[in-house]
Structure 1
């Protein structure tokens, strides 16, 4: 299957993408991973992307598209892939359509993870990260540490990242509504959108997604 995963920040896209890709035996292609890999390997695309990022500028669509194209042409993506973070806007969606058309391929589904805006704010603004190890993540409502402000794993101080503040989260949501949400209508016109609720336990959401994709297949 060839799937695009969309949803607002805090919808759990990264978590669901990993589970779905494993269940469907297809690679999870994340924009963040693509950028990190290209930059660390110092590819031409990575150097180009870094030159924009170092200036605090957005990486142009054509660079992101080229990275995605290169990754989708790898042997492990021959029988399908799950795209997470790409396409991010309608221009990228149109470019993806053209890429697939050249290869006589098409998308099977666009999975839209739906979550209320207030829940997004609650999920992200409630996160607390360990200063010693960013992999140790807690939450003021969903995963409270045994001692307030102290990491259960290593005893490090827990803090809220600047980009997890409510004000920043709402700004990120505005960007999502303006730039990314229009691709849902773009794909709805092609009859590809499958919308599911992203509320509940991770396994429940994965189950919903797998059921919806199997119905749509």
Structure 2
């Protein structure tokens, strides 16, 4: 099973990804983690990325797609994967499609965790307060103004990705504001429908 999980910061993608990894034996692929691993391993792509990052430049889509391509060839990804944090743009989605087609792979589902922005901000602020009260470090990206900006960025990007994947008949949305177990059941329902149609 090959999935993309979409959702703004704080929507619960990490929580649901962990559950899917455990339940279905998938691997969660974060482009940020893969990029750092390639740099640390000093692969040819990692060295190219390291050079770009040292100059303060963003890695081009072609490089990120190549890192994803290399990673999904590894044995632990053969059972399937969840892409987290990628694609972020329509160009990346198109490049991902081309790369997967070249491997005779397809995406099974793109699931978006939809949220109410005000409730999401309350959730993130509550998480920051709980961490602080427990004496744990609060993530800098949990500051309200940062969350506002990240949600706005996410909405701008997803406005392009949603119709792209709807057109392919693989897009579903799930209420990300529901209790965790309910969100999990909704995702399982989408995946059951996917399996039934294969």
Tell me the TM-score normalized by structure 2: 0.87
In the alignment, which of 163, 166, 173 is matched to residue 188 of structure 1? 166
The CA RMSD over aligned residues, in Å, is 2.0
Matched, 1:93 2:93: yes
Report the Cα distance in structure 1 between the residues aligned to 2:86 and 2:10, rounded to whole angstroms.
16
Structure 2: distance between partners of 1:203 and 1:33 = 27
Question: Does the Cα contact within 8 Å between 1:194 and 1:213 map onto a contact in 2?
Answer: no
Segment of structure 1 superposing worse, 63-72 or 27-36: 27-36
Bigger helix share: 2
Q: Compared with structure 1, are the counterparts of its residues 39 and 178 closer, same or farther at alpha carbon in structure 2 (3 Å cutoff)?
A: same
Tell me whether 1:177 sits opposite 2:171 in the alignment.
Answer: no
Q: Of the two, which has the highest radius of gyration?
A: 1
Q: Aligned equivalents of 2:56 and 2:142: distance in 1?
A: 19
TM-fit CA distance, 1:159: 5.5
Q: Which runs of 5+ in 2 are unaligned?
A: none
The aligned residue for residue 197 of structure 1 is 175
Pair 1:101–1:17, CA change in 2 (3 A): same
* 2:8 alignment partner, SS class: coil
TM-score, normalised on structure 1? 0.80
Count of residue pairs brought into register by the alignment? 195
